[in-house]
Amino acid sequence: MPSGEPTIFVGDKIPAGKFPYVPYTPELDDHTACGIPNTLSTDAWAGKKVVIFAVPGAFTPTCHINHLPPYIQKYDEFKAKGVDVIAVIAANDPFVMSGWARVEGLKDKILALSDINAEWSAGLGLSLDLSHRGFGTRTARYAMILDDLVVKYVKVEPVGTGVTVSGADAVLAAL
């Protein structure tokens, strides 16, 4: 069940946020390495065109099979449309997000960012209470296009509907 209605809209500037993540390094290709978490601030996106898509959880069926893979498959199409940064966000910890990124082969193409306790997403009205399933508070399934920190596209999937408005094809069409 969603926590509420989105409170971020096209034309709004995104609020400041900080996301722990494990940046890709070639050492991570050895799956016994864990990497060291860093923090990415939304300030790093100033002056850039950014695509963000959020998933309820790394390795969960819809996220793992239907949501993330088309973004990596269409990476060159996003770059051709002037996208500087693509980031996937979930409430999982940075080590889980890094593991998922490695399994999916993201390398340094797509950032796998942790929105701990879905705090940043909750501030946008884009969190999801999955406590009834034992998952706690998660990010809703949504996508945003930012241009110099200003929202140009924001769509959230109705719960249980799969991937449509937040999928790679919908976002590419909106660019």
Question: Sign of torsion, CA 104 64 51 41?
Answer: negative
- Looking up tokens 């971020």, which residue turns up? 8
User: Would you call 1 exposed, middle or buried from its count of C-beta atoms within 10 A (0-12, 13-18, 19+)?
Assistant: exposed
34 is catalytic: no
Catalytic residue among 63, 91, 118, 130: 63
Sequence-separated (6 or more) residues with CB below 8 Å from residue 101: 22, 24, 107, 110, 112
The helix or strand, by DSSP H or E, that contains position 129, with its residue range, turns out to be: strand 127-129
Strands 85-90 and 49-54: parallel
List residues with catalytic annotation: 63
